[in-house]
Amino acid sequence: MSVLTTNILVPHGREESWRFTPLNRLKGLHDGSAAIAEHRSLSMHSEVTPGVSFERISRELLPSLSTTDDAVMNRVREFSLDVAVLKIAANTEVSSPIHLSRKTFDLNAAEFSRVLIHVGSNARATVILANTGDTLLAEEIEFKVESGAHLTFVTLQEWDSKTVHVGKHHAIVDKDAMFKSITVTIGGSVVRLLPTVEFTGPGADAELIGVYFATAGQFFEHRIFVDHCVPNAKSRVNFKGALSGDKAHTVWIGDVFIRANAEGTDTYELNRNLLLTDGARADSVPNLEIETGEIVGAGHASTTGRFDDEQLFYLMSRGISVEDARRLVVRGFFAEIITEIADSEIQDRLMQRIDDELVKAGA
């Protein structure tokens, strides 16, 4: 068992990056009090095809590619047993999605997991990570998307009700490469994800989209950061959330930083929240910091609202019950993002889960 060798500052909740997170529900992931699990929950389900490899490498041999001041991520780097590495060789086109999953493990011991997904130059792949069951997990997933490569990463938080999951999903996107992530969070007790992007070459492109649906007592946080540190890169962020039930709480932070040298930047971020009942709370904080005016565009929008009475009236005037009308509107609200997942079975499964959550919540 590792001994604490670095001096990691423990967050207390007053820090900007922790101010919304219920630290008392993190089961010790943040302060070192959690027992460290011996298991590795990540597995791959797809056949290994030429140019694709999945292996575990000693963490001493493979330090993290990015810097972080996040206390939980520093613990991940300290305590992970090894690094799971999914590698797609240069010029490899992987035709069907690569499926990864995590399933139920111990809720009393924390898994600290490091993952690297490395896509070589001009390679193309889609990776789908499905999370189910209940577990206690801190993970750092890094993506290295080399020049001209395209990676689509789908992460599905379909947890049961007790999971505590803290993760950073950090993409390093090189010249003319494209990184797209689709983040779906519809299960768990506390889920805090940090989808972040760092560009390392001009012409790089990142699209981060996602949906979340929190019901009574659930806390889901998505804290996005896109660092425009090179010229002529493009980023798009679009997250949609619905909330239903007492003390359902979501947080969306969209930080975009356009550095002085990032001329020609084109960025837009959007967050929309649908409050289905009283007693729920959606925090939405877009934040754009611009150090150069020589850009193509930079914008953001954030809305939080209730059901549109006109939409419900229109549907009901055709005989559709209020429950079915709400279900249609919520499904429609999420469809824009869910239909981007190139797997109709997963689309159906997620829509069914959303329907089930709606019924459970009695919204």
Partner 1 sequence: MSTLEIRNLQVSVNTETGAVEILKGVDLTIKSGETHAIMGPNGSGKSTLAYSIAGHPKYTITGGSVTLDGADVLDMSVDERAKAGLFLAMQYPVEVPGVSVSNFLRTAATALRGEAPKLRTWVTEVKDAMDALSIDPSFAQRNVNEGFSGGEKKRHEIMQLELLKPKIAILDETDSGLDVDALRIVSEGVNRAKDANNLGVLLITHYTRILRYIKPDFVHVFANGKVVEAGGPELADKLEAQGYAEYVGS
Q: Which residues bind partner 1 (CB under 8 A)?
A: 308-311, 313-322, 324-325, 328-329, 331-336
CA distances in angstroms from 91 to 41, 148, 171, 200, listed in the order given: 30, 9, 19, 19
Q: Give the nearer residue to partner 1 in terms of CB position, either 47 or 309.
A: 309
Cβ of residue 301: shortest distance to partner 1, in angstroms?
Answer: 15
Do residues 154 and 180 touch, judged by C-beta distance below 8 A? no
Cβ of residue 303: shortest distance to partner 1, in angstroms?
Answer: 13
CA distances in angstroms from 263 to 105, 230, 260, 266, 298, listed in the order given: 47, 8, 7, 9, 12
- Chain centroid, CA 266 distance in Å: 22
- Tokens 């959303």 correspond to 354
Quick one: which H or E segment has residue 76?
Answer: helix 71-79
The two structure tokens encoding residue 363: 């919204």
CA 62 – CA 78 distance, rounded (Å): 13
DSSP structural state of residue 16: G
Rounded to the nearest 10 degrees, how much is the dihedral formed by the CA atoms of 331, 335, 338, 339?
A: 130
Q: Give the nearer residue to partner 1 in terms of CB position, either 108 or 303.
A: 303
Q: Give the nearer residue to partner 1 in terms of CB position, either 24 or 317.
A: 317
Cβ of residue 328: shortest distance to partner 1, in angstroms?
Answer: 5
Q: Give the nearer residue to partner 1 in terms of CB position, either 228 or 272.
A: 272
Cβ of residue 350: shortest distance to partner 1, in angstroms?
Answer: 13
Cβ of residue 339: shortest distance to partner 1, in angstroms?
Answer: 8
Cβ of residue 98: shortest distance to partner 1, in angstroms?
Answer: 28
Cβ of residue 127: shortest distance to partner 1, in angstroms?
Answer: 26
Instruction: Could you list the beta-strand ranges (E) of 187-248.
Output: 190-199, 205-215, 219-228, 234-244
CA 117 – CA 94 distance, rounded (Å): 14
